[in-house]
Structure 1
Amino acid sequence: METYTAMRHFADIWGLLAMAAFFVGVVVFTLRPGSKQTAKEAADIPLKDD
């Protein structure tokens, strides 16, 4: 098997799985319990008076 074909096959399978796992991780991180308060605090930073 050619090197290019083998690497392409590897990237097709494992690259897709890695991107899917990253996406699921970001969604879970965003929707985790307690993230609403953290996001609210971060959103209010520009509005705080010094």
Structure 2
Amino acid sequence: MKLSGNTILITGGGSGIGLAFAERFIKAGNTVIVCGRRESVLQDAFG
């Protein structure tokens, strides 16, 4: 299985397990699209 170079969509990525997955996938060299209910939480998490 190819673990880098993918485009990944994560919902609920502003906190908790969604944020942890997003960070891991980014570190592994993937393009990550993160969605969430609160823009302020996403801004705090990803700047």
Q: Greater CA radius of gyration, 1 or 2? A: 1
Instruction: Output the TM-score relative to the length of structure 2.
Output: 0.31
- Specify which structure has the higher proportion of helix: 1
- Specify which structure has the higher proportion of strand: 2
Of structures 1 and 2, the one scoring higher in RCO (CA 8 A, sep 6+) is 2
